[in-house]
Structure 1
Amino acid sequence: MKAVRIHEYNKPLSLDEVPKPKISGPYDIIVRIKGAGVCRTDLHIIEGVWKDVINPKLPFTIGHENVGVIEEKGNAVDWLDIGDQVILHPYITCRHCRACRSGNDMHCPYGKFPGLDGTDGGYAEYLKTSAFSAIKIPKGVDIIPMAPLADAGITAYHAVKKIAPYLYPGSIVAVIGVGGLGHIGIQALKAITPARVIAIDINEEKIKLAKELGADEVIIAGKDGGISDILKLTDNVGVDVVIDFVGEHSTPQNALRMIRKGGIYSIVGYGGEFRNTTLDFINREIMVVGNLVGTYNELSELVTLYVQNKVKLKLKTFPLEEANNALEELNSGRILGRAVLVPG
């Protein structure tokens, strides 16, 4: 089968012919990939950002946002059928540890992350994963556009759901970055919270998209990243929450200056850093929250919102063979929404 694999860091991916995966355990499934989302994390993998964190063994097939059709299954899988179309949670967990049993799937210390940790992912014609990672999608639903929900979608939804208990009618949330995750985050905020949403981006086309998706206010970030506009809109008080879908360059520092006393800084994007005095955190009682993907249940909830047409995805598709082109367009900021690879 065809698979797009990383052989060396900071080099283009290679389109290889590799053996089709085989069932090796009772709960395995083989999925014929219909769509594989192209994620900024894939760029970070190629750049070697994850090398010092998990040190994956090269080469391997990347791709962790996957949808497809079950082609084979292990003999213990009795709740899914051959031919079912599914979306796949990106993390394969043990289901037995304390994290798994408490619903914190992403913190399972024994899990595997296909497409990231050296386990083969979904930039391919077929993928082997666990049946426990699969969520069945109703027949008649086009699953290809759903691929980004498997990571970009649940990461944004997870971030929104974590802050939802702190929001009330009149709360204000600023969303920094209306990219692949941010445009989903705006919709999730409008779907499950009563908050007023202010979207911030440097790109006018993305700002237009934010307005179309329900943002109450939009700001084209200037030299100060939108700080002055936020303070003007909030009578110099600041917003209740900032969700930072960029997480690099100046956005972390800007976010801290937008938040009111007792507010929350929710970090989703990564790659940068911020400096602040401990006194400021104490004096303003700012809460800093990290977000790592999301749980199986959250993906199931997000799928429901998608099927109900409460969350939509802006999408651009590429043939599997054009993976490097898709990544280059993503890296240069030319993708509005998300990109998805479609095997032939």
Structure 2
Amino acid sequence: MPKGVVFKYAATNVKPISLLGRLLVDESDIAYTCYPLFHANALFLTVTPSLHAGSKLVVDEKFSASRFWDQTRRYGVTTFNGLGAVMPILMKQPPKANDRDNPVRFILSAGCPANIWREFEQRFDLKIYEGYGAVDGGAVLLMNLGTAPVGSMGKPVGAKVRVVDAQGNDVADGEQGEMIAYIGNRKDTVEYHENKEATSDKVRDGWLHTGDLVYHDAKGYMYFVGRNTESMRVGGENVSALEVENAMCKHPDILECAAYAVPSELAEDEIMVTFTALEGKEIGIAGIPAFLADHLAKFAVPRYYRLVPELPKTETHRIIKKELEKQGLTEDTFDAKKERVSS
């Protein structure tokens, strides 16, 4: 079961997000969300700024890629929050002559892939602002309001942040590590309901461990890599699931996917990816490894592939990887290693 977060208003990002919202949103704006309000994304990044600005808010029942832009035109939407999984799906929709004919001014994004960032802005005639925050993150906030390179979350806002390796040592520019933030003795900023072990593990020696893998460039701009729980170990190398997923989604006929670890004969991991195809497209799975070889290091190219009609998801459109991991290797799983040996 997911851990329950004890939410304390005084120790969250709500106040800084609200102040930031006042800089971006005014009374004339109309915000839109298709995510459930029990999730922090909709509640804090859409509803809260709208309330502070006194602007209008549209709450839709669910996400629909085919009618998304029609909804923005219908309600005159000027801003919405784009989760990382949603934006590539919107980009995969067939181009239309009226793609740029929409009222949206900007998107507050959480995880927009760098390879589609500029193309998305140009196709739909809007601006993307990227940010980072977490309900259980102890008021850690990063923002890129066009003030940082494409693909970056920006720099920390009012927080002391480090990127460290498994031993707690600071990593060099460009190297992956876990992002941790200093909260000192303010341990009550992070609390899991009736779970003291998880709470104490979250904060160690005054540093909050976010569980997020990132890297920074020479100027201190942060870039998201993935969750440390979704990192895979292959041939002595660490592989980010997000890196594999971004490469898979570059395939013109793949709609979305999930990469995850399955057991290996070598006591490490093998990478498996389950994916869906764009409507009306037929994909030759045997050709995918060769496609990925142009986008990933050799050790990061998955061994196993599975094409499914749809992926299991939460109400916030997040793929439920635990369900896929439980299913493991199924009869319809394609094994690229066996294919190479037989050929």
TM class, shorter-length = under 0.3
Scaled by the length of structure 2, what TM-score is found?
0.28
Scaled by the length of structure 1, what TM-score is found?
0.28
